[in-house]
Amino acid sequence: MNRRNFVRAIGLSAAITACFASPFAYAQAKTVKVGIMHSLSGTMAISETVLKDVALMAIDEINAKGGVMGAKIQPVVVDPASNWPLFAEKARQLLSQDKVAVTFGCWTSVSRKSVLPVFEELNGLLFYPVQYEGEELSKNVFYTGAAPNQQAIPAVEYLISKDGGGAKRFVLLGTDYVYPRTTNKILRAFLKSKGIAEKDIDEKYTPFGHADYQTIVADIKKFSAGGKTAVISTINGDSNVPFYKELGNQGLKATNVPVVAFSVGEEELRGVDTKPLVGHLAAWNYFMSVKNPANDEFRKKWAAYAKAKKLPGADKPLTNDPMEATYIGIYMWKQAVEKAKTFDVEKVIPAVGGQTFTAPSGFSVKMDEKNHHLHKPVLIGEVKADGQFNVVWKTKGPIKAQPWSPFIAGNDKKKDAPDGKTKI
Amino acid sequence: MRITSILLLLLFSVLARPAAAFDADAVRALVFGDGEQQVAAIAALVADGDARGAQVLEALAEGELKTSGKRILIVQGEKAIDAISGAVLSAPHADAEEIIANNRLRRELAGGIAALKLASADRATRLAAAKELSGGAAEAMLPLVRKALDREDDPGIKGMLEMIAAAMEIKSSDREVRIAAIRRLATSSNRDTKTLLLGVLERKDGAWVEADADLRAEAEKSLRVVEGQLAWGERAGLAFAGVSLGSILLLAALGLAITYGLMGVINMAHGELIMIGAYTTYVVQNLFKLHAPGAFDWYLPCAVPASFIMAAVIGMILERGVIRFLYGRPLETLLATWGISLVLIQAVRTLFGAQNVQVENPAWMSGGVEMLTNVVLPYSRIVIIAFVAVVLACMWLLLTRTRLGLFVRGVTQNRAMASCVGVPTGRVDTLAFGLGCGIAGLAGCALSQIGNVGPDLGQSYIVDSFMVVVLGGVGQLAGTVYAALGLGFANKLLESWSGAVLAKIVVLVFIIIFIQKRPQGLFALKGRSVEN
């Protein structure tokens, strides 16, 4: 009885407050829906789950400070389950049913290619947070990850340089799908321009989820007898764990044959014994080990959030590059909305260009006015015994993205800005 | 106070200076210089052979060399030593920044430290140093290696040192020395030797880089010998990879050889029982981490029986609860077990999450044994091959030498007759199914050591398992063994020849054609068969 009375009293008082303070209550109730579309199950869950969590963290943070233009952000989380056609369905649901103002999502290029027509048809807005192969520009997408010239090309340049070991032969090793194949096509052209002969480049692919790297590591060893060799790995997903285990077990040391990876970060190395892997490299635009106030704050916030939400792995909270890119994307969208003074996609898109944000990488990154890509710094790190990375090389400042790589024929004629049509 | 400390410092440096030819400038270049200067500094410090220089180099290799402003410190735990003056500093240096050594620097460092260690009195230290230098040493180390060579009396180390010296002398300016070095290198089986010899035979724009034809001929001769040796190593490595993959296929298929091969149950949930074995290993590992971190390296011996029992119990429940009602109806069995597999996957997802879990190798399973210079056999794979052999032997004994084995064979050959002579066929079915599932659990335990452990683990092995059992001939244990090893070898041979993606396709096409021509598999039961 007591409880019922109590509930009634609360309800009544709430109703009264609502009557008297209706304008205030209205402002409180105003929300804006935002879509979060990352695979929470299936093969890509290993990488994408944390992106969903960091997006929710950023949204909590923005809401705690009053939201965007007085409106609280209401996240709509969908799980496309590493199933590429399902990505398109979920995107359609977010845009036409939930009417989200913006969506943050996708990891693999094949999932992005799947949702792209939906976003263009329904005039949605997508922020894509992962490094990718370029060769795409859409009016409806902002790319906060790296283009090839912000990751792959500088990394290979470093390997060729004296400090990077002066590599003369290259093994291009990847998972068999669009991103590694396109990246390797660009890299092959780049290596040729550097005077590396065809016979000194070996391209190898393995299927998704490949787990037996004995032959591949033995082949790398054999190949390396012909001259100073470096391996460029575009292996994606959980295959990286058996690959690095095999490297360690077979004693292929970084001082002899360095492996530089484009899809391996702190999170992927979580389950691997990194002591035999010391010195292998990764190229990103951010590492957890970077020292600067913005990163200290980012790491602290993430650790606190992971602990509060009891996320798996909260005992050893790790941040990585795509998490940083997600975080930047959300804030850039907020700033653009505040500049445009509306959630209308048509007006927000021009406002995103030119936005700047003090990123945890320690640089003030800017969204290019035209080409929908971020100006980002490039960092190359070496694996340490504790699974973190030592930055051994970095650019002086952020560099502009080239979504149309000059190393692919015909790209010089393409415009560095979306023209409203899809170019897949 | 400050004055006294400065005086003390001065005193220290005055005392320290004359003691040895310590090159403070080299240390400064090592810390503050760019890549080139750092490499030169390492060479200078090694050439000095001074103990304090060696200490600085080792500190850099260990990540103990730090800077605090202009000061260079060697920080070991609470203790800090000024690298230049040698003074022991008591104040904590939390703000000190580590000097990062990149791959190039680390390679030079390792060579330099090893070269210094060649002077050690301890044989094991010298041997380790010589091994390190065999992996490629900087030319600046040649005088040190020569000196060590004069002193060395151990024939093993001496041989290694001669190779190391030869590898450096190949770039010497004296023609005779070079030819001698090239001849000596022919006996080496090191991969780097091939690189060196290829360097002599390099062509640029159609012309030889090395003008001397005799020298080239010698290099060619040596290269052929070295390549011959390397080729043997590669063959051995390939054979091992084939056996290793074959043993994994066998382990995954062995359980199915009982449940499908002997009992005729098309068990689509077989892969999920492997997955349950792997997750049981994960749970046991976590229990050890929590309650007995000291004995962590020995969690595997506990995980083996645990994963067997866990998978066997789940298998027996399945048999009693679902499968026994479906004997003789293969299509329904297939559908039901497939449904069960989905249920098991989702259950594990709910319990442990959709992400992969980490199963760490015990320390004794990481690394490998070096058979030849270019072949390393990883311990984890050796252990698994041995484990498969033991499981196979146990299963063979169980089926041929025990009463249960007799019953199982009896029931599968003639159920009605077995029942008539008093064999409890129902119970035998349950136990046999449990045994098959238990072995699947063991497979999961072993696979957790080399691959990823996630809810989808079983899916990637179910096709391979059926392939092996069908290829070997249903109902035949020996056939399963041959089929698994044969597929392992074929896969590895094709992989080295055509890449992993194509190898998989070729193997599948081969099996399709084979089954068309010979549906009963490699080894068929002769006479009146079980399938009547």
CB B370 within 8 A of CB A221: no
Q: Three-state SS for A316?
A: coil
> Residue A382: phi, psi to the nearest 5?
-110, 140
Among B104, B128, B151, where does a domain finish? B104
Residue type, A157: E
Predicted local distance difference test score (pLDDT) of residue A229:
92
| Residue segments in chain A with a per-residue pLDDT below the cut of 50 | 1, 16-27, 422-424
Do the domain assignments include residue B123?
yes
Q: What is the DSSP secondary structure assignment for residue B98, as one 8-state letter?
A: E
* Minimum distance, in Å, between the CA of residue A350 and any CA atom of chain B: 38
**How many helices and strands in chain B, by DSSP H and E?**
21, 9
- Asked if the C-beta of B66 comes within 8 angstroms of chain A's C-beta atoms, the answer is no
The verdict on a CB contact (< 8 Å) between A225 and B192 is yes
A chain contacts of residue B484, beta-carbon cutoff 8 Å:
none
* Residues whose CB falls within 8 Å of the CB of residue B111, separated by 6 or more in sequence, listed in order: B132, B133, B136, B137, B138, B141
Q: What is the DSSP secondary structure assignment for residue B327, as one 8-state letter?
A: T
B chain contacts of residue A268, beta-carbon cutoff 8 Å:
none
Same structural domain for residues B257 and B313? Answer: yes
Pairing assessment for the beta strands A201-206 and A169-175 based on DSSP bridges: parallel
CB A264 within 8 A of CB A233: yes
B chain contacts of residue A382, beta-carbon cutoff 8 Å:
100, 102-103
The verdict on a CB contact (< 8 Å) between B501 and A49 is no
The verdict on a CB contact (< 8 Å) between B454 and A219 is no
Do the domain assignments include residue B226?
no
Predicted local distance difference test score (pLDDT) of residue A332:
95
Tokens 């068969």 belong to residue = B529
User: What's the CA gap between A217 and A378, in Å, rounded?
Assistant: 28
* pLDDT tens figures, B286-345: 999 899 888 888 899 999 999 999 999 999 999 999 998 988 888 899 999 999 999 999
Same structural domain for residues B491 and B382? Answer: yes
* Residues whose CB falls within 8 Å of the CB of residue A382, separated by 6 or more in sequence, listed in order: A254, A278, A279, A280, A281, A389, A390, A392, B100, B102, B103
The verdict on a CB contact (< 8 Å) between A225 and B195 is yes
Residues within 8 A of B (CB atoms), A 302-341 only: 312
User: What's the CA gap between B511 and B515, in Å, rounded?
Assistant: 6
Predicted local distance difference test score (pLDDT) of residue B16:
46
* pLDDT tens figures, A241-255: 889 888 888 888 888
Q: Among residues A249, A193, A192, A258, which one has the least CA distance to residue A224?
A: A258
Secondary structure of B407-467 in HEC code, one letter for each residue: HHHHHHHCHHHHHHCCCCHHHHHHHHHHHHHHHHHHHHHHHCCCCCECCCCCHHHHHHHHH
The verdict on a CB contact (< 8 Å) between B379 and A249 is yes
* Residues whose CB falls within 8 Å of the CB of residue B30, separated by 6 or more in sequence, listed in order: B37, B38, B41, B42, B45, B56, B60
- Asked if the C-beta of B374 comes within 8 angstroms of chain A's C-beta atoms, the answer is yes
The verdict on a CB contact (< 8 Å) between A205 and B358 is no
- Asked if the C-beta of B361 comes within 8 angstroms of chain A's C-beta atoms, the answer is yes
Residue type, B145: V
Conformational region of residue A66, where left means phi above 0, alpha means psi within -120 to 50, and beta covers everything else: left
User: What's the CA gap between B135 and B43, in Å, rounded?
Assistant: 17
> How many angstroms separate the Cα of A326 from the Cα of each of A59, A282, B98?
11, 19, 30
* Minimum distance, in Å, between the CA of residue A195 and any CA atom of chain B: 12
CB A52 within 8 A of CB A40: yes
Same structural domain for residues B278 and B386? Answer: yes
- Asked if the C-beta of B373 comes within 8 angstroms of chain A's C-beta atoms, the answer is no
CB B494 within 8 A of CB B452: no
Q: Which helix (H) or strand (E) holds A143?
A: strand A141-143
Do the domain assignments include residue B148?
yes
Among B104, B127, B159, where does a domain finish? B104
Do the domain assignments include residue B346?
yes
* Minimum distance, in Å, between the CA of residue B528 and any CA atom of chain A: 41
Same structural domain for residues B86 and B204? Answer: no
Do the domain assignments include residue B217?
no
Residues within 8 A of B (CB atoms), A 95-154 only: none
DSSP for B235-299 reads HHHHHHHHHHHHHHHHHHHHHHIIIIIIT----TTHHHHHHHHHHHHHHHHHHHHHH-GGGGGGH
> Residue A161: phi, psi to the nearest 5?
-65, 165
Q: Three-state SS for A286?
A: coil
CB A320 within 8 A of CB A107: no
Predicted local distance difference test score (pLDDT) of residue A352:
94
* pLDDT tens figures, B132-171: 777 666 677 777 888 888 888 888 788 888 888 888 787 7
Average per-residue pLDDT for chain B: 83
Same structural domain for residues B204 and B333? Answer: no
Beta bridge partners of A283: A380
Same structural domain for residues B164 and B205? Answer: yes
* Number of Cα atoms under 13 Å in the Cβ half of residue B423: 22
Other C-beta atoms within 10 Å of B194: how many? 24
- Asked if the C-beta of A195 comes within 8 angstroms of chain B's C-beta atoms, the answer is no
Residues within 8 A of A (CB atoms), B 188-207 only: 191-192, 194-195, 198
Do the domain assignments include residue B6?
no
Candidates B452, B489, B504, partner chain A, best to mutate (most A CBs within 10 A): B452
- The shortest CB-CB distance from A41 to any of B198, B354, B380 is to B354
Q: Among residues A161, A229, A219, which one has the least CA distance to residue B192?
A: A229
* pLDDT tens figures, B55-112: 888 888 888 888 877 788 888 777 788 878 877 876 666 677 788 888 888 888 888 8
Tokens 């079980």 belong to residue = B530
DSSP for A45-73 reads HHHHHHHHHHHHHHHHHHHHTT-BTTBEE
B chain contacts of residue A255, beta-carbon cutoff 8 Å:
103, 106-107, 110, 135
- The shortest CB-CB distance from A312 to any of B191, B355, B379 is to B355
Predicted local distance difference test score (pLDDT) of residue B503:
85
Other C-beta atoms within 10 Å of A345: how many? 18
Same structural domain for residues B315 and B391? Answer: yes
* Minimum distance, in Å, between the CA of residue A206 and any CA atom of chain B: 6
Same structural domain for residues B237 and B342? Answer: yes
Report the sign of the C-alpha dihedral through residues A160, A166, A168, A170, in that order.
Answer: negative
Do the domain assignments include residue B451?
yes
Same structural domain for residues B357 and B425? Answer: yes
Domain that holds residue B161: 118-211
User: What's the CA gap between A100 and A282, in Å, rounded?
Assistant: 35
**Dihedral (Cα; B453, B456, B461, B467), 10-degree rounding:** 180
Q: Among residues B36, B18, B14, B40, which one has the least CA distance to residue B27?
A: B40
- Asked if the C-beta of A44 comes within 8 angstroms of chain B's C-beta atoms, the answer is no
DSSP for A325-361 reads HHHHHHHHHHHHHHHHTS--HHHHHHHHTT-EEE-TT
* Minimum distance, in Å, between the CA of residue A78 and any CA atom of chain B: 15
CB B220 within 8 A of CB B434: no
Among B38, B69, B104, where does a domain finish? B104
Predicted local distance difference test score (pLDDT) of residue B136:
66
- The shortest CB-CB distance from A249 to any of B366, B451, B500 is to B366
B chain contacts of residue A206, beta-carbon cutoff 8 Å:
500-501
Predicted local distance difference test score (pLDDT) of residue A222:
86
Candidates B103, B346, B370, B461, partner chain A, best to mutate (most A CBs within 10 A): B103
- Asked if the C-beta of A210 comes within 8 angstroms of chain B's C-beta atoms, the answer is yes
User: What's the CA gap between A45 and B29, in Å, rounded?
Assistant: 47
Q: Which two tokens stand for residue B206?
A: 């159609």
Predicted local distance difference test score (pLDDT) of residue A67:
92
Other C-beta atoms within 10 Å of A132: how many? 25
B chain contacts of residue A205, beta-carbon cutoff 8 Å:
499-501
Other C-beta atoms within 10 Å of A170: how many? 24
* Residues whose CB falls within 8 Å of the CB of residue B333, separated by 6 or more in sequence, listed in order: B265, B266, B267, B323, B326, B327
The long-range contacts involving B37-40, CB below 8 angstroms and separated by at least 24 positions, are B38/B105, B38/B108, B39/B104, B39/B105, B39/B108
The total of structural domains in chain B comes to: 3
- Asked if the C-beta of A79 comes within 8 angstroms of chain B's C-beta atoms, the answer is no
Same structural domain for residues B197 and B68? Answer: no
Confidence band for B373, pLDDT divided at 50, 70 and 90? low
Q: Three-state SS for A166?
A: coil
A chain contacts of residue B230, beta-carbon cutoff 8 Å:
222, 225
User: What's the CA gap between A170 and A164, in Å, rounded?
Assistant: 13
User: What's the CA gap between A400 and B212, in Å, rounded?
Assistant: 50
The verdict on a CB contact (< 8 Å) between A225 and B230 is yes
What distance lies between CA A223 and its chain's CA centroid?
32
Q: For chain B, what percent of residues have pLDDT higher than 90?
A: 26
Q: Which two tokens stand for residue B282?
A: 């994960």
Same structural domain for residues B155 and B275? Answer: no
Confidence band for B253, pLDDT divided at 50, 70 and 90? very high
Predicted local distance difference test score (pLDDT) of residue A13:
53
- Asked if the C-beta of B516 comes within 8 angstroms of chain A's C-beta atoms, the answer is no
> Residue A259: phi, psi to the nearest 5?
-110, 120
Predicted local distance difference test score (pLDDT) of residue A20:
47
pTM of the model: 0.82
Predicted local distance difference test score (pLDDT) of residue A8:
61
User: What's the CA gap between B229 and B374, in Å, rounded?
Assistant: 10
* Minimum distance, in Å, between the CA of residue B309 and any CA atom of chain A: 26
User: What's the CA gap between B372 and A117, in Å, rounded?
Assistant: 55
Same structural domain for residues B160 and B299? Answer: no
CB B42 within 8 A of CB B57: yes
Q: Which two tokens stand for residue B520?
A: 């009963």
The verdict on a CB contact (< 8 Å) between A249 and B378 is yes
Predicted local distance difference test score (pLDDT) of residue A21:
46
Do the domain assignments include residue B12?
no
User: What's the CA gap between A146 and A285, in Å, rounded?
Assistant: 7
